[in-house]
Structure 1
């Protein structure tokens, strides 16, 4: 279902990147993923750059807030919830941490920021006028969200209790792979952290027409190839980073 107008409770519905150089990031992702941008003023100064694909919102870029300066940029994953305040009340009793208490974002929605018991940060979104991404699972849009964590035994029950997600397990290249379910559909995955310099985090996958061609052009646009293209049962994958950081993967079904 590429075009979306609603999201079931607990479904990843939005992603954005607070970055140290917003204009450079717009140039990189615009050319790499075919995005156009709509700059919306932010109270207090600055803009929130809404990324559009075929006229539909798919993601956003913004300036990194002062509290995050000195930290590497990271893509945020948002989860749709019916009531942010009610959901936030479950976080700390379930061994998570409330990083930013609920607040309204104009008439777009109400959000909060939290971290799970493994330290991975995520956002909650209660939609008003902005439901999240209007286009998914198509080139230029988000196709999957995956929690890379060193503590799957701790965090899977956390998301079940806080977001009401179901859990199934399947095989992927001979390894057990955990998937979260919402509204009867698989909506996200859980994978052991790859280690190295990457912290536990929610990882974003963008769909592309051709992984090899996208990887080839990324360095010329200022990006980095962290993992060369490789085949999986669900298609070709590769891992990249933008010019300022901000690790993400690309997927060719």
Structure 2
């Protein structure tokens, strides 16, 4: 299956790992992933699910360890000139990933990657177990963050919910068909807005904890229902966080209460 990626869609993912070899040992058996070198880019490994590219694995250097999503972009040079106000906001300068594409990482309204396709239009998206299926983002100002991603990075936002504020969930939810933004309400978090995590499709999130533990990982949170589906958070043996996603989307009204769609 070939996935169509619109400009602004999450279309690629990368893991910057302190131990890429150990990451392969963990994620390979967990998701059935295979790994391959990329011509012309030493140290960069392609992540392959059922014969289809879904992302990249590289040593952690030059940016924070962990998983990072990339949004599709047609012209990196033009986009960077438009969205960057300070040179410190450019975390990773445009970098050629072999013939696959060109990537850059920015820190504006959170840290996110931009992907200009070459031979790889992007990852196979939400097409069975082992494929990326959702990206979550937390922010202290959902309106400002939503405006940035819609206007500057061409997000195709379809829905906004304004449920009653409770201790049981975030008070705002803005969504495309591949990503969502929620407002952070925890008094324990005081950092800048950031991508919360990438969600990998699994047949049943509840069936993975034993396997995660056997492979040396950690189950951080028990599974719970979200608008994207049922989610469970894990970390790999190097401490990098990732979410598992299973089941059908859950109507946010059932979780948070009434909301309002936007056109």
The TM-score with structure 1 as length reference comes to: 0.83
Aligned CA-pair RMSD: 2.6
SS of the aligned residue for 2:178 comes to: strand
Match of 1:24 in 2: 22
- What is the distance in 2 between the residues matched to 1:102 and 1:63? 17
Aligned to 2:259: none
Cα distance in 2, alignment partners of residues 233 and 101 from structure 1? 34
How much has 1:93 moved relative to structure 2? 4.7
1:240–1:251 distance in 2 versus 1, CA, 3 Å: same
In structure 2, the residue matched to 1:84 is: 76
2 CA distance for matches of 1:171 and 1:143?
24
Moved more, 228-237 or 154-163: 228-237
Contact 2:106 2:113 in 1 (8 A): yes
Q: Distance in 1 between matches of 2:54 and 2:105?
A: 20
CA gap of 1:128–1:213, structure 2 versus 1, over 3 A, is same
**Closer/same/farther in 2, CA of residues 162 and 5 from structure 1, 3 Å limit:** same
Q: What are the superposed Cα offsets for residues 105-124 of structure 1, whole Å, 9 maximum, x if unpaired?
A: 3322122210123xx21111
**Equivalent in 201, 213, 235 of residue 194 of structure 2:** 201
Q: Is the 8 A contact 2:172 2:183 kept in 1?
A: no
* Alpha-carbon distance between aligned partners in 2 of 1:150 and 1:100, rounded to the nearest angstrom: 25
Residue from 203, 216, 225 that aligns with 1:222: 216
Q: Which residue of 1 aligns with 2:254?
A: none
Q: Determine if the alignment matches structure 1 residue 164 to structure 2 residue 164.
A: no
Match of residue 183 from structure 1: none
Are residues 1:115 and 2:107 paired? yes
Residue 14 (structure 1) aligns with: 12
Give the secondary-structure state (helix, strand or coil) at the position aligned to 2:240: strand
> Could you give the per-residue CA deviations for residues 190-215 of structure 1, whole angstroms, max 9, x where no partner exists?
02347557954222000101211112
Alpha-carbon distance between aligned partners in 2 of 1:97 and 1:234, rounded to the nearest angstrom: 30
Distance in 2 of aligned mates of 1:197 and 1:137: 33
Decide whether the 8 Å contact of 2:26 with 2:215 is kept in 1. yes
CA separation of 1:38 and 1:152: change in aligned 2, threshold 3 A? same
Q: Answer with 190-199 or 10-19: which moved more.
A: 190-199
Distance 1:240 1:111, change over 3 A: same
Contact conserved, 2:38 with 2:98, CA < 8 A, in 1?
no
What is the CA-CA distance between 1:146 and the residue it aligns to? 1.3
Check conservation: 2:218, 2:236, Cα contact below 8 A: yes
Moved over 4 A (4+): 171-175, 194-199
Give the equivalent residue in structure 2 for 1:189: 180
Q: Quick check: which one's strand share is greater?
A: 1
What's the CA shift for 1:216?
2.3
In the alignment, what sits opposite 2:225?
231
Unaligned runs of 5+ residues in structure 1 are 181-185
1:230 shift after superposition: 2.1
Contact between 1:215 and 1:228, CA under 8 Å: does it hold in 2? Answer: no
